Amino acid sequence: RIVYVNGAYLPEEEATISIFDRGFIFGDGIYEVSAVLGGKLVDCEAHLARLERSAGEIGLELPCSRAELVAIHQELISRNNLDEGSIYLQVSRGAADRDFPFPKGVKASLVLFTQARQFANTPLAKTGIKVVSTPDLRWARRDIKSVNLLAPVLAKQFAAENGAQEAWMIEDGVVTEGASSTAWIVKGKTLISRPLSHKVLPGITRTAVLAFLAESGFTFEEREFTLEEALDAEEAFITSATSLVMPVTTIDGHSIHNGAPGPATIRLREIYLDHAR
């Protein structure tokens, strides 16, 4: 694999970052994950707009322009012959002797790499995924896509140990979101997902799904929902750059409806794939 690190395209074995990098030492950095389908970037501009917002919220100056970032994404797709998979981008506040306040005159570190994966034809889309619930242990600014992912790592590990692919995090009696995805339920022709706030990441895939609501014949109810309501829903699903639109067929071992992906989720996934390709 050819990866990108601070201006250079290198074989992954040769790419290095300082042990003093603040991303490594403090988790002082932000990231994005975007999908590549059929060799094409999916919603790249929207991901980079969110990156710019995250950077602004933590007072981090990005080391290059949006156009340069798009060009790096495209160069990596081409150098790695990537047809389907994801691109991970991380920006940290750079390398400096360990001290909490922002260092002066230090340039941000920028790293990008690709991961080849089958997102469109994954067998999970046919069976649906299993979800487990777990308390939401994250910080108070989840709208910033920070590299501090210890709570999601623990939640995903808990899911894996219980044979599940995703964890839905619970706070104040309601589902906040998946450890790395937006949570949705379906009742009739209505899609339900919670409003955006500091408590959740504003999902790019969420916005994409909402953009084709009219075309899909669904309506949207933006509100919080409880785990009990999800267990009783006709369908449940998640959205993210890497899961696209993915049916959830069991939660905490209980089947949702008849335990098979429902028609609304299947339809939304089809429409999303048409949009993304």
- The only residue of 242, 257, 266, 273 in contact with ligand PDD, by rule CB under 6 A: 242
- The only residue of 151, 204, 248, 264 in contact with ligand PDD, by rule CB under 6 A: 204
With CA atoms as reference, report the closest residue to 223 among 197, 203, 252, 189. 197
Let me know: does 155 contact 167? Beta carbons within 8 Å. Answer: yes
Binding to ligand PDD (CB under 6 A): which residues in 160-179? 177
In this chain, which stretch among 17-25, 52-60, 76-84, 233-241 interacts with ligand PDD, using CB under 6 A? 233-241
131 sits near ligand PDD (criterion: CB under 6 A):
no
With CA atoms as reference, report the closest residue to 32 among 145, 132, 135, 117. 145
The β-bridge partners of 35 are 86
Count residues near ligand PDD (CB under 6 A).
Answer: 14
CA distance between the termini of the chain: 24
Distance CA 196, CA 57 (A): 16
Nearest to ligand PDD of 54, 240 (CB atom): 240
Nearest to ligand PDD of 24, 88 (CB atom): 88
- The only residue of 114, 134, 146, 180 in contact with ligand PDD, by rule CB under 6 A: 180
- The only residue of 90, 165, 193, 239 in contact with ligand PDD, by rule CB under 6 A: 239
Distance CA 169, CA 128 (A): 19
Nearest approach in angstroms of CB 130 to ligand PDD is 18
User: Which DSSP letter does residue 175 get?
Assistant: E
Let me know: does 113 contact 8? Beta carbons within 8 Å. Answer: no
Nearest approach in angstroms of CB 170 to ligand PDD is 14
Site for ligand PDD, rule CB under 6 A: 33, 177, 180-182, 201, 203-206, 239-242
